[in-house]
Structure 1
Amino acid sequence: MGRRLAALLGLLLVLSFAIFSLMYLAPGSPEQVLLGTRPASPELLASLRHQFHLDVPFLERYWLWLSDAVRFDLGSSARSGRAVTSMIGDRIGVTAFLAGYAFVVAVGAGVPLGVLAAVRRRTGVDRGVVGLTVVGVSAPAFVTGVVLLYLFAVTLGWFPSYGPGSGVADRFWHLTLPALALALTALALVTKITRTAMVGVLEQDYVGFALARGVPLRRVLVRHALRNALVPIMTAAGAVVTILLTGTILVESTFSLPGLGGLLVDAVNDKDVPLLQGVVLLLAIVIVLVNLAIDILYTRVDPRIAYGRSAA
């Protein structure tokens, strides 16, 4: 555990340095990047240099920024002047709800579909599920979103066409179409990996022995086959989080949702580097922590992994 946490801190440190360097990779001087299209007066330039520590060496600037970030102070927006943490706090609820909703849909539907395809291997059901995964992987989230929006919001009027809704039930209703559009690619990945893992497990001798002893098929699938196929499925779940967080940028723009995706797009369009750094740093931390949690869960699901690491 100690080595895992040390590796996590090292990775976060490297990511924070790369994210902080965004300002200095952009064309022009840091002052020009922060100013954007505003006229540059000597007083404004002096204020920017003092506010963003541009009058000290680069590594010292990074240390000051990192020290503030550890205390949840990500600075102020270069355009609005508001605190970056406050702007993120206003938007994070919609993105968290949307990503969580899409994750439940992707994993909750992908795992049963993968198991069904593995059990009905080389049948029409299997080919149909595999065809669904091909469509899901091939269709970008924004294209799926536009199709769902036109069919179920504009044509049929079953769902709202924009807005996050208010209250839990209303938010579920408003975010159903965005969650489906976001979850389709992830669902295809989970289904494909579940099917592959289950096919390998179902070919093992202990599964055949259990069935020969008269153990019900459902019990064999859940307690023996699926349990031993969980490690690759959990790996897919970690990849799903990354897919969902990156996909929210396009889906939120398609459905006019005030989430972190829209905030990130606004930061890029406005060249608001402090806001861009804050949002990207938050997304990177979430992805790293999710993968750490899955890495820890591996040892709970399959104790042989922990034993193998101890032996190594």
Structure 2
Amino acid sequence: MTETLPTARAPRLRPIGRMLAVRVLGTLAILFVLSIVVFSMLHLAPGDLVKTLLGTRPASPEAVAAIREQYHLDDPLPVQYLRWLGGVLTGDFGQSIRLQTSVADAIGSRLGLTLALCGLAFVAAIGTGIPLGVQSAVRAGGVLDRIGTALGVIGLSAPTFAVGLLLLYVFAYYLPIFPVYGGGRGPLDTLYHLILPAITLAAGLGAIVLKLTRTAMLRELDADYVTSARARGIPEGRVRRLALRNAAIPIVTGASLLLTFLVGGTVLAETTYALPGLGTLLQDSVLFKDLAVVQALTLLVSLVIAVIALLADLAYLLLDPRVRAKGGTA
């Protein structure tokens, strides 16, 4: 009988497994607490759901009582929450009172547009911010550095809705190149409608990436290993790639924060451009007190943020050998 020796990889995988388990349990706990808070705040918010449903139409007391009974509005708040939580655990997120459809269908019909918008904005921000940040650090003090710094200040200072209104006026009204509102029909038409909203979101996000990349690259380019590499005659392009790899951790951190910022920025962008995405769905549902939709979207957003944070931690392990070594000896 042969005996297998433990490999060196096994001890390193254990801390990663523990980290994943702790993160998953922590995320579930946060989602549970957040669901209670949101559920309670929506019920305490001013306004009556029955009056919102009926509008200005006159209604008899019997009709009002029937509506309250249909949606269990007279039940105690803990009972309503437990009923909702039981449905969620079985995959039933409830019924949208405003849209008269299931919450899953209401979110699913708008999820693709929001994901496309966030994806375009993220790619535009990373694709412009990182190269500009690297070139700004390499040519510190030069014309390109001053231009990059000015663009970063403008991008960080301008509010999302102000950038959106400006782009609408210039490129949709004054120069009618892009559509004013709507999500379009078909993949190409939808992409055409999302260009301006994506640029609106990417303006501020790209400025953050530019600043983070420039700062991280300046620190790495002043490090001793860069001076030693240049003294040994290593090509400058290879030296810059090495410095960029070592500066990747703060850049990855910034990129993960960008994705979380996109969640809030999408609401403003979709409202400005009248896009039928999750942002406008959340806004309308809050105003209408559509509890089931707000609860589901809140949990979805929280889950996405938690997954992004977890992926950022895993990226640290891949990018920095020191983090892997520390995890392996823990």
TM-score by length of 2: 0.85
2-side partners of 1:35 and 1:72: how far apart?
Answer: 30
Tell me the residue number matched to 1:177.
Answer: 196
Q: Is 1:251–2:269 an aligned residue pair?
A: yes
Match of 1:110 among 126, 129, 132: 129
**3-state SS of the aligned residue for 1:193?**
helix
Q: How does 1:60-71 map to 2 (within 5 A)?
A: 60-71=79-90
2-side partners of 1:277 and 1:239: how far apart?
Answer: 23
Higher deviation after alignment, 40-49 or 295-304: 40-49
2-side partners of 1:67 and 1:310: how far apart?
Answer: 41
1-side partners of 2:73 and 2:42: how far apart?
Answer: 13
Q: How does 1:180-199 map to 2 (within 5 A)?
A: 180-199=199-218
| Alignment check: 8 A CA contact 2:27 2:303 kept | no
Which letter maps to 1:226? L
Match of 1:265 among 277, 283, 305: 283
Q: Tell me: CA distance 1:53–1:65, structure 2 relative to 1, closer, same or farther (3 Å).
A: farther
Which letter maps to 1:262? T
Consecutive unaligned residues of structure 2, counting only runs of 5 or more, are 1-19
Q: Is 1:36–2:44 an aligned residue pair?
A: no
- Tell me how large the CA RMSD over aligned residues is: 2.2
Consecutive unaligned residues of structure 1, counting only runs of 5 or more, are none
2-side partners of 1:144 and 1:171: how far apart?
Answer: 21
Q: CA-to-partner distance for each residue in 1:92-129, whole Å, 9 max, x for gaps?
A: 11111001100000111111111111111122221211
Q: Is 1:163–2:182 an aligned residue pair?
A: yes
| Alignment check: 8 A CA contact 1:19 1:281 kept | no
Higher Cα Rg: structure 1 or 2? 2
1-side partners of 2:127 and 2:157: how far apart?
Answer: 21
Which letter maps to 1:96? L
Match of 1:152 among 171, 186, 195: 171
Higher deviation after alignment, 69-78 or 173-182: 69-78
Match of 1:284 among 291, 302, 319: 302
Superposed displacement of residue 56, structure 1:
4.9
Q: Tell me: CA distance 1:25–1:303, structure 2 relative to 1, closer, same or farther (3 Å).
A: farther
Q: Tell me: CA distance 1:74–1:40, structure 2 relative to 1, closer, same or farther (3 Å).
A: farther
Tell me the residue number matched to 2:15.
Answer: none
| Alignment check: 8 A CA contact 2:50 2:67 kept | no
| Alignment check: 8 A CA contact 2:173 2:180 kept | yes
Which letter maps to 1:261? G
2-side partners of 1:226 and 1:303: how far apart?
Answer: 15
TM-score by length of 1: 0.90
Match of 2:43 among 21, 24, 36: 24
Q: Is 1:232–2:250 an aligned residue pair?
A: yes
Match of 2:158 among 130, 133, 139: 139
Q: Tell me: CA distance 1:34–1:130, structure 2 relative to 1, closer, same or farther (3 Å).
A: farther
